[in-house]
Amino acid sequence: MNSWVKRIRACLLLFIFQFVVLAASAHAAGFGIFTQDAAALGKANAQVAHSDNPSAIFFNPALLNQLEGTQIRLGTTLLFPDRKFTNDLDGKRYKTKSDVFYPSTFYLSHKANERFAIGIGVFNPFGLGTDWGETWEGRYLATKSEMETYNINPSFSFQATPWLSVGGGVSVLFLDTTLERKVFLFDPSIGQLPDGNQKFKGDGEGFGYNLGVLIDLPGDFSIGASYRSRIKVDIDGDVKFKLPDPNLAFLLPNTPASVDLELPAVVHAAVSYTGFDRWTIETGLRWEEWSSYDKLDLKLKEPIFDGEQFTDRITEKKKWKDTFAFNLGVEYQLNDIVSLRAGYLYGNNPVPDKTFEPAIPDADSHLFTLGTGLKYSDFNFDLAYGYQKMESRKKNNDLGKEFGLPANGKYETEMHMIGMSIGYSF
């Protein structure tokens, strides 16, 4: 009995690791979502030192007082991820199930006077999911992983001097997650038992803040920068097992569980130039503090047997690294109605080789975007397309070897994005 219980223990530890990495790609490291506006997506998110719509709440709240009157903006981005795995030993190929995700946004801004503006945004800063199915080689590492977050972010902007604006806001973030994998079961007297199923479902909330600054320089240059703080989320939920033999339930009982999760701080910085007739050019960088993942401590209300003793606490240490992304975006105002956009972004990833695994097969990535904007009377409509190609990456570590199915091999990921936003000014 001790043999297969130890394998269950390994499965539980890997489950906790999966929870760490899931909280982390729409063109971001880990599982951050930066498709927060179609106009920005068309320029590969080069919208930190200039903006003409209230998505500035996300990118840089100091830009809010550049917006006239009251503006409302709604949008969504259709995400079509495609992930493939090729086994190193036999060359067998697997791919995730086809799915469409649609992180959405709502922004409202109001210019109270010449120096002060306020706004509120509702958006999904982290999320997406992966579904490899229940029979693929890495099923003891991950089968289905989902997470949704909703951030409510009231913000303000103040024109401190003719050349300096500052802004800020607070964030209230709600998180909901469901993680599933198969459980390897083996009895020395019988052999391998049918797989069990393991599912964690939980939710929680956290609080943070954001700051921004905009400096207008001589010669049609402007510099923008913004900071989003870490957000600590207290997640409460349940770990549930479906086991082929109910007699195993005393070792692996269904139990409430809780965990604290720190989502990373993010910094944007950019320079914009408007000196060319009809052209706006911006280049910048984004820094994400994924080193905030030092460890994760899962607390169980009911103890589980870990192969040696019953325990109600499992700690998994994990060190991720901070990441950078660099972008360039351009916009050309064709006439009073139509604008054309294009952009490119390169970003690296936070996951070291020794902990790389299928729940989030992250890799260094390239994003290519095109977009257009239409203005008519008090309405504006923006459409953008993005193609993200992640560099192929090898898994060659010990995760999953306890079951003889480590899913080691080459992982390839690409994603198509279609962004749409509509706004109204009054």
Q: What are phi and psi of 111, to 5 degrees?
A: -90, 110
The residues spanned by each domain of the chain are 2-425
Q: pTM value? A: 0.86
Output the pLDDT for position 306: 66
Arithmetic mean of pLDDT, 190-196: 80
pLDDT surpassing 90 at residue 309: no
Band of pLDDT at residue 23, cut at 50, 70 and 90: very low
d(CA 209, CA 198): 35
Report which of residues 107 and 352 the model is more confident about.
107
Output the pLDDT for position 307: 60
According to CATH, the superfamily of the domain at 2-425 is Outer membrane protein transport protein (OMPP1/FadL/TodX) (2.40.160.60)
Length of the chain equals 426
CB 184 within 8 A of CB 214: no
pLDDT surpassing 80 at residue 15: no
pLDDT per position as a tens digit, 37-68: 999 999 999 999 998 899 999 999 999 999 99
- Percent of the chain exceeding pLDDT 70 equals 89
Q: What are phi and psi of 253, to 5 degrees?
A: -75, 150
pLDDT surpassing 80 at residue 404: no
Contacts of 60 (CB under 8 A, 6+ apart): 48, 49, 51, 167, 212, 213, 214, 224, 225, 226, 268
pLDDT per position as a tens digit, 363-389: 889 999 999 999 999 999 999 999 999
The residue whose two tokens read 């086991």 is 243
Report which of residues 11 and 23 the model is more confident about.
11
C-alpha closest to that of 231 among 40, 59, 36, 32:
32
C-alpha closest to that of 323 among 15, 18, 30, 26:
30
C-alpha closest to that of 350 among 314, 324, 316, 311:
324
pLDDT, mean over the chain: 86
Output the pLDDT for position 293: 74
Band of pLDDT at residue 96, cut at 50, 70 and 90: confident
d(CA 237, CA 240): 10
Band of pLDDT at residue 315, cut at 50, 70 and 90: confident
The conformation of residue 44, written as its DSSP 8-state character, comes to T
